[in-house]
Amino acid sequence: MNATLVAERGCICESTEQSESLTLKAVRLAERLEQSVRQIIVGADQNLGDMEMEVERQSREFQRAATEKVAQSKADLTPPVCPVCHRPLSQVSAGHERTFQSRFGEIRLERKRGYCKRCKKWRFPADHALGLEESAGSSPRVQEMAALLASKMPVEEASAVMEHLTGVKMPRATLDREAKRQGERACRLREQLDEQARQSPAQVGQPEMVLEPYQMIIQTDAWNIRERDEWGQTERLRRAGQEPERWHWVYMGTCFRLNQRGKTAGGRAVISERGFVATRAGIDALREQLHAEAMRRGLGQAAGALVIADGAVWIWRLADDRFPEARQRLDFYHAVHHLAAVGRALFGEDKEKLRQWLRPLVKQLKNQSAIKVIHQLEEILATIPSGPTLVEATKEIHYLREHQKRMDYRTALRCGEPIGSGAIESTCRQAQCRFKRPGQYWSRQGDEALLCLETFWRNNRWHLLFPHNRHFDLSKN
Ligand SMILES: [Zn+2]
């Protein structure tokens, strides 16, 4: 079929000049493609990858033109009504140009402009209909790409990866700015969603019928983010009269229902659905975000809740404060670590002795009771003469005694509950891989924005930020 023939047919069934040209473009594209791939087909050193690249390169202009055409049609159809107060606009004039970067390259649009007497502002209703914010130079899809890539990798890489994979050219600084803008938008949206969870907790919980009672598991942890290169030189700087930049804590939390935790065929623990929070805005921010997330995940309907974490004091304060009904459990591996510290005080560098001493105690701690283990340690303590060993052992035993009620691992294992906070620890490790790269400088605001984007992605709420993804279910990935 040749271009002229299709163009003639186009005259019959299509009425506008623009749709004819699009049809023509499609035919020309097909012809061009057939020409160029012929060389690839006969080329000995060219494979499917070359064909993919060629088809992608050739069809880009067609995709751009098609997007421009539909965008223009939508702009033309948008009534001159204020998108904010919905009143008709006055002094309406047409032909106001705007260009922006789309998924397939630069697009030019003409829109109507009118004055809203109520808002006392000039309005472009088409911009609103197309999802173009006032200052945005990029389409919603490009905004999304910038946000996603910047939250997953350093900006300088993100810019190169975006161009390589999609052909969209976005300089580093522009991509950085766009991602932060989206991240700040995500922070505002998170605040709204958390506010809803506080105001009407019954409405944000899981709407489905709860057939089986479940426990809500909550885990939290923190890691610190590199701020400046002076790390480790605090004392030297202070001696020189300088106050170094502090490391900043990133607080993270996760929550899931116990019955959503299972195992793979290989025995690895998996959680089918869980909520994440991450913030650099301090413990109070974490507490409120984590509570809102737990409510959204069904805390209100849970038969009980359990907070598992390492021994940090702030965690238990947070738990007492915001999850007063929840049981508390010290991470098992953390308890073992403190038990081992007693052993190291007793046996020094003799690793074999330490191992022999530790093994039965760890078993007892796991399968019998913490009280039994602590009693044995106290008996040992009574035999140690005063000195650094006694001081060290006393400190560790005191720690274990303090957490005694949080160490009922036997019951936990019987009920099929986790004894460790591995779920949050692995989440923190993943986040650190992204955020702790050498030479990276982070600002508090920029961090919070990127962390927030990451939680929208992980919580399967990306579509709330970028509604064009509303039919795309991330949990199926
Ligand atoms: Zn208005």
Say if residues 373 and 347 touch (Cβ distance below 8 Å).
no
Q: Which residue in this structure is represented by tokens 């007793």?
A: 346
* C-alpha of residue 466 to centroid of ligand 1, in Å: 24
Evaluate if residue 12 carries a pLDDT over 70: no
User: What whole-number distance in Å separates Cα of residue 447 and Cα of residue 437?
Assistant: 13
The band of 5, judged by pLDDT with boundaries at 50, 70 and 90, is very low
Q: Which residue in this structure is represented by tokens 């060290």?
A: 392
Q: What percent of the chain has pLDDT over 70?
A: 86
* C-alpha of residue 89 to centroid of ligand 1, in Å: 8
What is the four-CA torsion angle of 296, 300, 304, 310, rounded to 10 degrees? 40
Higher pLDDT, 403 or 266: 403
User: What whole-number distance in Å separates Cα of residue 439 and Cα of residue 430?
Assistant: 18
* C-alpha of residue 133 to centroid of ligand 1, in Å: 16
The band of 438, judged by pLDDT with boundaries at 50, 70 and 90, is low
Give the tens place of pLDDT for each residue, 241-284. Answer: 666 556 678 899 999 998 887 777 777 767 778 899 999 888 99
The band of 96, judged by pLDDT with boundaries at 50, 70 and 90, is very high
DSSP run (H or E) holding 218? strand 215-225
The pLDDT value recorded for residue 13 is: 41
* C-alpha of residue 86 to centroid of ligand 1, in Å: 6
Evaluate if residue 183 carries a pLDDT over 90: yes
* C-alpha of residue 74 to centroid of ligand 1, in Å: 20
User: What whole-number distance in Å separates Cα of residue 54 and Cα of residue 159?
Assistant: 22
* C-alpha of residue 118 to centroid of ligand 1, in Å: 5
The pLDDT value recorded for residue 446 is: 79
* C-alpha of residue 199 to centroid of ligand 1, in Å: 29
User: What whole-number distance in Å separates Cα of residue 457 and Cα of residue 459?
Assistant: 6
Higher pLDDT, 407 or 10: 407
Q: Minimal CA–CA distance to 312: which of 246, 231, 222, 240?
A: 222
* C-alpha of residue 85 to centroid of ligand 1, in Å: 4
Say if residues 409 and 366 touch (Cβ distance below 8 Å).
yes
Across the chain, mean pLDDT equals 85
* C-alpha of residue 82 to centroid of ligand 1, in Å: 5
360, burial (CB in 10 Å: exposed 0-12, middle 13-18, buried 19+): exposed
* C-alpha of residue 244 to centroid of ligand 1, in Å: 50
User: What whole-number distance in Å separates Cα of residue 2 and Cα of residue 23?
Assistant: 12
* C-alpha of residue 122 to centroid of ligand 1, in Å: 9
* C-alpha of residue 110 to centroid of ligand 1, in Å: 21
The pLDDT value recorded for residue 19 is: 56
